């Protein structure tokens, strides 16, 4: 087998590992919560620690890869991600798991920044289109299989298995990369923007920390307000730095192109709406309805399966339909699907969610393939790497902020609902916080068992009603985010912003970008969905 196909193999293996890890973790969160006695905010950080480190380091990783070699950085990324997976798998407490997830995020950022660049350097012409088509199929399969495999591993072995399964894949990919993958570098490498890393990382961390802390305390608590203020200061400083350095990792002038801005908004809205909601849908299915991890994964397959099918169709029609007619309407469809799930009550079963699962899955499938090409389709070849990295950064920020925001909304809504329903029971007045904490800790049965025998039925109904009310509030919030994002994307994305791509970068790859004239991405390799981690 030619060396270039070994490159494709290890890149696909890394992509499969990264994407599988996202959906597997979502399904395993309730088991992690029970095993480590983790807090509700700890669950949020288990996901956000990964997303934040990935978002903060993605653009920097791309610059390092250009300077020191993509293969070299890919090897480092594989090593760090695999080591992080091992640390996650053996973690004995909540803090260790969160820190280990951050290590995974560092490795993930490096792998995301180098994977497609390795493919672009290894393949040319029609073979490049075939390689990106295979990569896109692997990405879609990993996303679809994640919930089921996560359920099987968590139910059949342990939640630790979802991390430890990465070890043989990572080690095998590492050996193949060292022996059979060629090094590649661009003709000209940009400097690393160290001045931009610090304020971006500090600003994102402060923002997410404030949102998560608000769910544990209150929105007007002093520490929360200080963190919001720090987030504003750091993010403003990041904008100032990026506007002044000679080689910024995020060229803010890109946002002056309406289509690039629209694609960035769509990337944020896609992950901040549907993908951030998955954690709370999983908690509802497992902690409130009582399904196992395997049962939850099988039910989520309704959504991911619809996404896979819709993405295949979207990939085929991308060359004939303007991008704005897929991204904007697709996000609107996602929003409609999330709103279709509302109306959950204490007596609802998971079947109430099926129409929304299918509709949101179709919408996500419409958005992902063209969104991957839009960011790099409106910039010259030499800026495609930065454009793709910025788009992926918006995705990670979206999921991190979405999870944190929904956690705060969930907590406030849950307390209000329980307070309203328990106020009529004198002996339970003043216990609202205790019962709410039990729900957030994934132990509603403890709250029910601790109530007097004659009141347990009322407490159980209040808990189910409170969970349903809170979930409805989250579905409304996430649905609105998707709808607004869809409308803005449709208004901003326009055909005349796309530039023809040619030369060595070629259509379909990160070096050139698949955007073609008229806002229609070229068919060669354009159907590859963007990673969602």
Looking at residue 514, what is its pLDDT?
33
Q: Is the dihedral of CA 61, 62, 67, 73 positive or negative?
A: positive
Span 479-503, mean pLDDT? 86
Nearest to 96 by CA among 40, 41, 167, 36: 36
The rounded distance, in Å, linking the Cα atoms of 488 and 61 is: 30
Cβ(328)–Cβ(269) below 8 Å: no
3-state secondary structure of 373: helix
109-113, 131-135, 186-190: the lowest-pLDDT one:
186-190
Local confidence band at 62 (pLDDT 50, 70, 90 cut-offs): confident
Nearest to 374 by CA among 506, 498, 508: 498
Cβ(26)–Cβ(137) below 8 Å: no
Span 56-80, mean pLDDT? 87
The rounded distance, in Å, linking the Cα atoms of 153 and 209 is: 31
Q: Which residues contact 5 (CB under 8 A, 6 or more apart)?
A: none
Q: What is the 3-state secondary structure (H, E, C) of 418-431?
A: HHHHHCCCHHHCCC
Q: Is the pLDDT of residue 497 over 90?
A: no
Question: pTM of the full predicted structure?
Answer: 0.83
Q: Identify the top-confidence range among 55-69, 202-216, 477-491.
A: 477-491
Looking at residue 363, what is its pLDDT?
94
User: Which two three-digit tokens encode residue 228?
Assistant: 């919001």
Local confidence band at 19 (pLDDT 50, 70, 90 cut-offs): confident
Nearest to 268 by CA among 396, 374, 140: 396
Give one DSSP letter per residue of 290-342, joined into a string. Answer: ---HHHHHHHHHHHHHHHHHHHHHHHHHTTTS-THHHHHHHHHHHHHHHHHT-
Residue with tokens 């960035």: 264
pLDDT, the chain, mean: 83
Cβ neighbourhood burial of 289 (10 Å; 0-12, 13-18, 19+): middle
Cβ(411)–Cβ(439) below 8 Å: no
Q: Is the pLDDT of residue 355 over 60?
A: yes
The pair phi, psi for residue 532, each rounded to 5°, is: -110, 5
Count the Cβ atoms, other than its own, within 10 Å of residue 168.
10
CA atoms within 13 A on the CB side of 301: 17
Q: Is the pLDDT of residue 160 over 70?
A: yes
73-87, 153-167, 362-376, 493-507: the lowest-pLDDT one:
493-507
Residue with tokens 């920097």: 60
Nearest to 341 by CA among 284, 401, 404, 270: 284
Numbers of helices and strands, H then E, in the chain: 18, 0
Q: Over the stretch 247-261, which tens digit does the pLDDT of each residue have? A: 888 888 889 999 999
Q: Is the pLDDT of residue 234 over 90?
A: yes
Cβ(143)–Cβ(19) below 8 Å: yes
Nearest to 259 by CA among 493, 489, 513: 493
Name the region of 250 (left: φ>0; alpha: ψ -120 to 50; beta: rest): beta
28-32, 33-37, 211-215: the lowest-pLDDT one:
211-215
Q: Over the stretch 400-451, which tens digit does the pLDDT of each residue have? A: 899 889 988 998 898 888 888 877 776 666 677 777 777 777 777 777 777 7
Count the Cβ atoms, other than its own, within 10 Å of residue 518.
12
The pair phi, psi for residue 311, each rounded to 5°, is: -65, -40
Local confidence band at 518 (pLDDT 50, 70, 90 cut-offs): very low
CA distances from 131 to 128, 184, 505, 513 (A): 5, 17, 14, 14
Looking at residue 152, what is its pLDDT?
85
Local confidence band at 528 (pLDDT 50, 70, 90 cut-offs): very low
User: Angle between the 276-283 and 40-68 helix axes, to the nearest 10 degrees?
Assistant: 150
CA distances from 202 to 208, 210, 309, 506 (A): 10, 12, 39, 37
Rg of the Cα atoms in the chain: 23
Give one DSSP letter per residue of 67-80, joined into a string. Answer: HH-HHHHHHHHHHH
């Amino acid at each position: 087998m030619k060396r270039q196909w070994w490159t494709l193999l290890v890149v696909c293996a890394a992509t499969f590992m990264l994407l599988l890890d996202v959906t597997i973790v979502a399904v395993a969160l309730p088991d992690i919560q029970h095993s480590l006695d983790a807090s509700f905010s700890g669950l949020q950080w288990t996901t956000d620690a990964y997303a934040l480190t990935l978002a903060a380091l993605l653009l920097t990783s791309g610059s390092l890869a250009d300077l020191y070699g993509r293969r070299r950085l890919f090897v480092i990324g594989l090593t760090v991600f695999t080591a992080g997976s091992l640390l996650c798998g053996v973690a004995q407490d909540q803090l260790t798991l969160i820190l280990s997830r951050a290590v995974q995020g560092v490795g993930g950022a490096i792998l995301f920044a180098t994977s497609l660049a390795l493919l672009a350097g290894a393949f040319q012409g029609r073979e490049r289109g075939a390689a990106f088509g295979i990569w896109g199929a692997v990405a879609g399969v990993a996303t679809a299989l994640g919930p089921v495999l996560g359920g099987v591993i968590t139910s059949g072995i342990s939640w630790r298995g979802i991390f430890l399964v990465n070890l043989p894949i990572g080690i095998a990919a590492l050996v193949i990369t060292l022996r059979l993958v060629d090094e590649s570098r661009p003709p000209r490498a940009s400097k690393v923007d160290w001045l931009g890393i610090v304020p971006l990382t500090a600003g994102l961390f402060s923002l997410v920390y404030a949102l998560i802390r608000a769910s544990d305390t209150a929105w007007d608590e002093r520490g929360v307000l200080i963190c919001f203020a720090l987030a504003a200061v750091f993010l403003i400083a990041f904008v100032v730095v990026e506007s002044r350095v000679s080689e910024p990792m995020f060229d803010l002038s890109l946002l002056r192109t309406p289509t690039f801005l629209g694609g960035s908004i769509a990337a944020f809205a896609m992950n901040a709406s549907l993908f951030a909601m998955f954690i709370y849908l999983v908690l509802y299915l497992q902690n409130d309805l009582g399904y196992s991890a395997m049962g939850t994964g099988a039910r989520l397959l309704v959504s991911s399966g619809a996404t896979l099918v819709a993405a295949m169709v979207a990939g085929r029609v991308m060359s004939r339909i303007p991008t704005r007619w897929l991204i904007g309407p697709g996000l609107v469809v996602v929003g409609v699907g999330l709103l279709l799930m509302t109306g959950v009550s204490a007596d609802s079963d998971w079947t109430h969610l099926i129409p929304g699962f299918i509709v949101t899955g179709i919408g996500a499938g419409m958005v992902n393939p063209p969104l991957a090409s839009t960011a790099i389709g409106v910039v010259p070849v030499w800026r495609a790497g930065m454009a793709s990295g910025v788009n992926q950064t918006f995705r990670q920020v979206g999921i991190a902020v979405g999870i944190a925001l929904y956690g705060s909304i969930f907590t406030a809504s849950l307390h209000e609902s329980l307070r309203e329903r328990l106020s009529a029971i004198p002996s339970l007045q003043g216990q609202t916080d205790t019962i709410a904490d039990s729900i957030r800790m994934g132990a509603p049965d403890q709250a029910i068992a601790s109530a007097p025998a004659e009141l347990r039925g009322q407490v159980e109904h209040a808990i189910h009603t409170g969970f349903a009310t809170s979930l409805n509030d989250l579905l409304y919030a996430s649905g609105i985010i998707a709808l607004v994002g869809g409308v803005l994307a449709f208004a901003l994305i326009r055909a005349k912003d796309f530039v023809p791509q040619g030369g060595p970068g070629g259509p379909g790859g990160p070096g050139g970008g698949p955007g073609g004239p008229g806002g229609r991405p070229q068919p060669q390799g354009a159907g590859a969905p963007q990673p969602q981690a």
